[in-house]
Amino acid sequence: MNRSLFALRAACRGAQKIPSSARSQLNRQPTQNFASHQLLSGRSYPSKLRPFYQQSSRPLSDPRLIRLRLRGPPVRYCSYRRNNMCRTHATAEVTGGVNIQARELLPTNVIPRHYHVTLEPDFKKLTFDGTVLIDLDVADDSKSISLHTLELDIHNAKVLSGGQTVSSSPKVSYNEDTQTTTLDFDNAISKGSKAQLEIKFTGQLNDKMAGFYRSTYKNPDGSEGIMAVSQMEPTDARRAFPCFDEPSLKAEFTVTLIADKKLTCLSNMDVASEAEVESNKKAVTFNKSPLMSTYLVAFIVGELNCIETNEFRVPVRVYAPPGQDIEHGRFSLNLAAKTLAFYEKVFGIEFPLPKMDQVAIPDFAQGAMENWGLVTYRVVDLLLDEAGSGAATKERVAEVVQHELAHQWFGNLVTMDWWDGLWLNEGFATWASWYSCNVFYPEWKVWESYVTDNLQRALALDSLRSSHPIEVPVKRADEINQIFDAISYSKGSCVLRMISTYLGEDTFLEGVRRYLKKHAYGNTETGDLWASLGEASGKSVEEVMDVWTKHIGFPVVTVTEKDDSIHLKQNRFLRTGDTKPEEDKVIFPVFLNLRTKDGVDTELTLDKREDTLKVSGKDFFKLNANHAGLYRTSYSPERLEKLGEAAKKGLLSVEDRAGMIADAGALATSGYQKTSGVLSLLKGFDSETEFVVWNELISRVATVQGAWTFEDKAVRDGLEAFQRELVSPKAHEKGWTFTEKDGHIEQQFKAMLFGAAGLSGDQVIIKAAKEMFTKYMAGDKSAIHPNIRSSVFSMALKYGGKEEYDAVLNFYRTSKNADERNTALRILGRAKQPELIKQTLDLMFSGEVKDQDIYMPASGLRTHPEGIEALFTWMTSNWDALYKKLPPALSMLGAMVNICTSTYTTKEQLEKVEKFFADKNTNGFDKSLAQSLDAIRSKTAWVDRDREDVAAWVKENGYSS
């Protein structure tokens, strides 16, 4: 799954970059967490079973079943190791330094093998009727069956075995806390037998973007259309049909959808049959799926347009509802066909489904979801108007499409056995999307930008005390959504990039192929991956890599120079700069990758607290070549100055230069270096030529500005003047007109410099932006190039007033392009006038902004002190409504809490946030809140430590009087 709100980045790289301290994962849209289960009368629907794959019957002596059995009551608990799968409530195990608590899992007395799910949505009542028939293997003599349900009304249930009805009216009970329905019956079903469970039910086509839900859109004639769509990951299949909703309980699925004949019905598989059930309705039954987890099941009913290509071995299609230009799906369609063929070759396994559909969903909380054979996307992440969108948007769409298609192997074919292994899905898909993007578009140089993107996101979150290990223990369903973050995605992918560099890419990919082939259609743990990589390489991969996945955090390596050697010492790095001895016990195996004039030595590893290294020719050396390692490096000011000179001489790669700047900025945040030294370092890079390095330069200046948001205005103005002096000459040199000769990177480079210079007060650029804005809003759509639309709008609102605000708001209301609408929505918060701030805040709950998008105007308000204060006041005044609209069962509430609090910088503001939440139930967003508080603490400590230092530097360098 691709989280569209993965970081609070600017809409495109041409906009001013938000400080890394503010980057936070905004996740899925929550939904109400209540359930009503009643025994009501209901009707059944025809079942037509047509197998596509031959079902394999697993004997009850199979080790998978044996390890699930318990000596006591049949309640299953999962731990890291398969041979320790069974746990009781009272037991816990410490493995690799991580405390492994028992998970809330279903009993193991029955094992699901096949589901036939029949659903009929009612668009008038906003409900759906359903029947599920589940084929079960009976692992223990049983008089009860427990499975997951949520917000479903159970009408009746029936248990059958051996062709006989065991119970036609079992007792139905519900545990709201564990979201489980239990069916009790008098006559036992015997161990070793087969059984069937049939349940008839009704559910709500909710508006919370979870389970089987409704999505609305505007038809070309302006009327409202509605469609039924699904989102199951991580634990919302139980909202759509009663099921054993755990990733390790894979089964085969047959789906039947009943709908009006004019509507399109889609599911994971291709259509097996279609039958008329009423004069104007049809029942569409799909072929049986291969073994897969419940969170990958998908179905869609609605009016859809389609384009198709046969450039891949099986049909590939893109669907979109009316009102969207289906031809804007052409880029994603063609890319998908090429990417599937590429992944088949690289991974050595054919895509196993008979088709690949990609669907643009108007209401969608994530960026995309990898449902097997039926990938769903936000409109803006699938449909691309190549003439009307910038280079950064095109790169984003490519990344999302290739991420989701990588999941067809990593996550779908081979699945983690529990959510603590989420990184095996998301880290792999993230790495694979960058790997494939680099092959398809080498001119984009994505591995260079990886250092300022994924690596910095991972290090930013993992530098907080409230971070978590890659393999994070999760017990309850409401904890799972909180780990869809920069650790599982970005740090996970960074670990894979690190091990790929360590083993060599060819060896790494050979290990990946072995892993996929060995565990196809099964479930895995991290150790299974290390084993396959170890077999391919002959190296002890698990011994080296376990530390990185099982422990929180990462080290900073401090370099002390001696006559002919360097002394290295590693300690845990915390952004707050207050690491305690008990938090600094882990020794990481640090791949030093020492760069000298002789090249890069990849064999050196720091696997102890400290060590001394002989270095020949100490005039030039740098650790962590290309920043493939997950650590910061702290040099002396003298060495940093020498590295700056080396950069100018061309001795450092682009990744080295960008990574060195990022390290220096982060180390100043935590007190390892003075902020004045970092500002001087940044100033010395004014002759830099590469986009990625400039991207990090601007980001680090913005990080300082973010921490100093509530400080003396003269200092804040001085920092803005410094950015203007740093960026403006380069912006004017590059210009802000775009031609066909401009490459992908050059377009983004021009856009970024234009935005950074203008938003820091460059009067020439501001004047140009205002002229463009006036012409554009008067109807000349060629006046603003898509690459700089966001920056022009931002300047119009930052330096304008109500007239400009109304123009942008009207643009949002009238544009039919999702990318344009998102740009406008993000920019509205830039306006600082009190009445316009209020108008922006009022917009969020007006019904005019979709729930999936309410974070956008909020994020714009974070760019100035007035907006930051207004956001917190709005959140506290509207807490009950916010909690109801975005309930914490999922994670959008946590994202909004982060947006409304994390840009605070003072102790008084910290205390204000702590006081507000002191008596609140924070279940479901406690991690987000803790990370926000940590971010505030780090800025508070930083500013207290370097307030006078920065003020003096600004004055000495002539940026303030």
Cβ atoms of 922 and 654 within 8 Å: the answer is no
Q: Which of 404, 479, 655, 688 is labelled catalytic?
A: 404
In the chain, the amino acid numbered 58 is R
**Separation between Cα atoms, residue 57 and residue 55, nearest integer Å:** 6
Q: Which residue has the tokens 């209401």?
A: 363
φ, ψ for residue 805 (rounded to 5)? -60, -50
**Separation between Cα atoms, residue 413 and residue 407, nearest integer Å:** 8
In the chain, the amino acid numbered 858 is A
**Separation between Cα atoms, residue 116 and residue 114, nearest integer Å:** 7
φ, ψ for residue 754 (rounded to 5)? -60, -50
Output b/e per residue, 235-248; b: 16+ Cβ within 10 A.
bbbbbbbbbbbbbb
Both tokens of 202, joined, read 């009704």
**Separation between Cα atoms, residue 495 and residue 61, nearest integer Å:** 37
719 DSSP assignment: H
> Which of these, 931, 924, 78, lies nearest to 420 by C-alpha position?
78
Could you count the other beta carbons within 10 Å of the beta carbon of residue 387? Answer: 7
**Separation between Cα atoms, residue 536 and residue 86, nearest integer Å:** 31
Q: For residue 353, what are the contacts with CB-CB under 8 A and spacing of at least 6?
A: 268, 269, 289, 290, 314, 372, 373, 408
The secondary structure of 422-473 as a DSSP string is HHHHHHHHHHHHHHHHHHH-GGG-HHHHHHHTHHHHHHHHHTSTT---SS--
Task: Classify 445 in phi/psi space as left (phi over 0), alpha (psi -120 to 50) or beta.
Answer: left
**Separation between Cα atoms, residue 383 and residue 394, nearest integer Å:** 10
**Separation between Cα atoms, residue 389 and residue 785, nearest integer Å:** 9
**Separation between Cα atoms, residue 329 and residue 315, nearest integer Å:** 15
Residues in the chain: 961
Side-chain half-sphere CA neighbours of 549 within 13 A: 28
Q: For residue 716, what are the contacts with CB-CB under 8 A and spacing of at least 6?
A: 705, 708, 709
Cβ atoms of 458 and 490 within 8 Å: the answer is yes
**Separation between Cα atoms, residue 739 and residue 80, nearest integer Å:** 55
Per DSSP, the three-state class of 249 is: coil
3-state helix, strand, coil in the chain (%, to 5): 40, 20, 35
> Which of these, 20, 134, 156, 26, lies nearest to 893 by C-alpha position?
26
Per DSSP, the three-state class of 314 is: coil
Cβ atoms of 845 and 879 within 8 Å: the answer is no
Using only C-alpha atoms, the chain has a radius of gyration, in whole angstroms, of 28
> Which of these, 146, 170, 306, lies nearest to 238 by C-alpha position?
146
Both tokens of 248, joined, read 């390790």
Report how far apart the first and last C-alpha atoms of the chain are (Å, whole number).
51
Beta bridge partners of 130: 119, 201
Output b/e per residue, 767-802; b: 16+ Cβ within 10 A.
ebbbebbeebbeeeeeebbbbbbbbbbbbbbbbbee
Both tokens of 589, joined, read 């195996």
Could you count the other beta carbons within 10 Å of the beta carbon of residue 863? Answer: 28
Active site residue 404: yes
Catalytic residue ranges? 404
